[in-house]
Amino acid sequence: MSEPDPKPPAIEDPDLGLQLIPDQASEYAAAVDYLYFALLGVSGLLLALLFGLVVVFAVRFWHGVRRERGPGLAESRERRLEIGFVLPLTLSFLGLFYWATELYVDLYTPADPDITIDVVAKQWMWKVQHPDGTREINTLHVPQGEAVALRITSQDVIHSLWLPAFRLKRDAVPGMYTSAQFTPTQTGTFRLFCAEYCGTDHARMRGKVVVLSRADYQQWLAGGAAGASRAQEGGQLFQRLGCSGCHKPGSSELAPALEGLMGSTTELADGSEVVVDEAYIRDSIIEPQKQLVAGYQPIMPSFSGQVSEEEIMQLISYIQSLGNGGKND
């Protein structure tokens, strides 16, 4: 049903020169670098202290130096020195922990995005589809100044999408959706890598991120000449696979109606409740009996093996386009 994937383009690494600190293409990237510099500072201080002491002791207390050594440190002084060293160290560790965690929480709980781009990883390429249906491989075009969410999965093994210029990385895990969100502040071409070892051509699974101004991005999309949007493609699939036979618009006789479903809370046959998200919809297509909605018979067949990961994402986009239970897009 799904067409074979085109061959990935030849690798063209963006020519950036050696950057010990990569481009800061988002505000978040700059924030991570501050943390990095702070940690470098703390480490440098501790190393200087340690090496300083070792060198001073090595010179003063070398066995050839015939100076009276004085008594060793008493047990009570030992404890005091240890505590005096460890307490400030632990406190600074806790401070760094708090700092790093705050950034991480920001990264994991982003505001609603302006645009959601689907990314499917496979051995050994990144397949990207934009909301308007435009597809690309190993290259990711994004608009500057907009909050871009990536909805990531893998169709075979675990991969990991790394965008160094955005200090961003998220694994692509089969059977699971992960997401990564960033807001590019700088136009230009940056690097994109697979960071999780994924087999023979792992090192060739790299490409580039191209940040364009909003106007250029729109123009670029138009040049791609996508026939239908991602949601429309999903809608066509919905017809073709026969989903619409039971999930009829406005009717919830045989199967739950899908309007306004995304983001809503649904009661299941076993009495538990579930928030309908991408993962739930994916599960319901692949394993419909797993979390059956209360009041319905387990009659839906599994579509496992009949739809590709990209097609499932298109179906999700379609269901999302039917309304989203009051949540913003």
Partner 1 sequence: MTSVAESPTVAGEACTDDYLSGGWSIRSWLLTVDHKRIAWLYAVSITVFFFFGSAAALLIRLELITPAGDLFSAEEYNRLFSLHGIVMVWFFLIPSIPATLGNFLIPLMVGARDMAFPKLNLLSWYIYSLGGLFTLAAVIAGGVDTGWTFYTPYSTLFSNSAVLAAAVGIFIVGFSSILTGLNFVVTVHTMRAPGLTWMRLPLFVWANYATALIMILATPVLATLLLLVGLERGLGIGIFDPALGGDPLLFQHLFWFYSHPAVYIMILPAMGVISEIISCFSRNPVFGYTGMVISIMAITLFGFVVWGHHMFVSGQSMYAGILFSFFSFLVAVPSAIKTLNWTATLFRGRISFTAPMIYALSFLELFTVGGLTGIFLAALALDVHVHDSYFVTAHFHYIMVGGAVTAYMGGLHFWWPKLTGRMFSRAWASTAAVALLIGLNLTFYPQFLLGYAGMPRRYHSYPDDFAILHVLSSLGAGVLAIGYLLPLIYLSWSLRRGEPAPPNPWDARGLEWQTMSPPPVHNFKETPVVTGGPYEYRE
Q: Per rule CB under 8 A, is residue 2 in the interface with partner 1?
A: no
Q: Per rule CB under 8 A, is residue 76 in the interface with partner 1?
A: no
Query: How far apart, in whole angstroms, are the C-alpha atoms of residue 313 and residue 13?
Result: 29
In this chain, which of 6, 9, 41, 97 binds partner 1, going by CB under 8 A? 97
Binding mask 264-293 for partner 1 (x = CB under 8 A): -----------------------x--x---
CB of 301 to partner 1, least distance (A): 16
Cis? peptide before 126, omega within 30° of 0: no
CB of 134 to partner 1, least distance (A): 26
| Long-range CB contacts (within 8 A, 24+) of 12-15 | 12/208, 13/191, 13/206, 13/208, 14/189, 14/190, 14/191, 14/208
Q: Per rule CB under 8 A, is residue 37 in the interface with partner 1?
A: no
**181 CB-near residues (< 8 Å, 6+ apart):** 107, 110, 113, 147, 148, 149, 150
- DSSP letter for 139, please: E
CB of 290 to partner 1, least distance (A): 8
Query: How far apart, in whole angstroms, are the C-alpha atoms of residue 33 and residue 35?
Result: 5
Closer to partner 1 at the Cβ: 70 or 227? Answer: 70
Binding mask 217-236 for partner 1 (x = CB under 8 A): --------------------
CB of 216 to partner 1, least distance (A): 25
Which residues 98-157 are close enough to bind partner 1 by CB under 8 A?
A: 99-101, 103-105, 107-109, 123, 156-157
Binding mask 180-219 for partner 1 (x = CB under 8 A): -----------x-xxxxxxxxxxxx-x-------------
